[in-house]
Amino acid sequence: MSEKSIGKFMFEFIRNHFDLVSLFFLFFYTLLSVKTIFSKGMIPGWDHPVHYVHAYLTAIYMFPELNILGWDPFNQFGWVFNQYYNPGMSIFVSFIYYLFLKSIDFLLAYKLAFFLAYFLLAPAVYMFVHALTKDKIAAIVASLLSITTFVEESTWLDAGLKQMYYIGMWPERLGLVFAFFSIAFLAYSFASKSLPRVLFLTRISA
C-alpha cells in the first residue's frame, strides 16, 4: 500500500469516525488534566484517605470472602464500611486491582480508578447526548465540557475535578458515569426495532 493510499484511508477514517477520533484525543486531554495524581503519595483531599482504606479493606479482606461489608477500625472511631457510604467506589478499585492480578501497588490501582471515574464521564455523556439527539457534534461538545474545569466550578456541588481533588468526592462522579451510560443504553433500546437488541440493551441499562 502506497503512502498516498494510506493517507487517503486515514483521511476517510477520520472523516467518517471523527467522533471516535475525538474521544481518543479527549482521553489524552483528560490524562494531562489529572497527571499530577500519579505523583508519589496519596491524592490530596479530605476524603481520599478514607476511600483508600475502605477500598483496600474491600479488596484484600472482603472480596476473597465474597462480601463487601466489613469493620473499619481506623476511621469514625470504627464503623461498618460500605454500609453507610456507597460501595461502588470500593468495588471499582478492587476490580482494577484484581484485573492486574494484584501485580500493581494498591495505591496505583486507586489512582487508576480515580482517573477512569473522571474520564469515563466523557464517553458516557457522549452516548447519552447521541442517544437522544443523534447529533455527533453535540455529543462531542458535551463530552468535552464534562471533563473541562471552569473557574465557576464548585468544590461541593458539580462532581467535577475540583470536587474530586479537594473534597475527594469522586464516588459521586463514578455514579454519574453509570447513570449516563444506563440512560443512554435505555434510550438506544427504545430506538431499536430489533427485539433481541432491545432486550440486550435494556438488560445492560438495568
* CA atoms of 84 and 107, how far apart (whole Å): 23
Q: Tell whether the model's pLDDT for residue 165 goes beyond 70.
A: yes
pLDDT band, residue 157 (cuts 50/70/90): confident
Q: What is the mean pLDDT of residues 144-152?
A: 86
Q: Tell whether the model's pLDDT for residue 85 goes beyond 80.
A: no
Crossing angle of helices 121-133 and 170-191, rounded to 10°: 30
Q: What is the pLDDT of residues 19-43, one digit of tens each?
A: 888 888 999 998 888 888 998 999 9
Among 31-40, 59-68, 91-100, 150-159, where is mean pLDDT lowest? 150-159
- Alpha helices of 34-169 — where are they, by DSSP H? 48-57, 88-99, 106-119, 121-133, 136-146, 161-162
pLDDT band, residue 162 (cuts 50/70/90): confident
* CA atoms of 173 and 177, how far apart (whole Å): 6
pLDDT number for residue 137: 92
pLDDT number for residue 195: 66
* CA atoms of 48 and 50, how far apart (whole Å): 5
Cα angle, residue 193 at apex, residues 188 and 196 outer, rounded to 5°: 85
Q: What is the mean pLDDT of residues 98-106?
A: 95
Among 44-48, 139-143, 178-182, 194-198, where is mean pLDDT lowest? 194-198
The pTM for the full model equals: 0.87
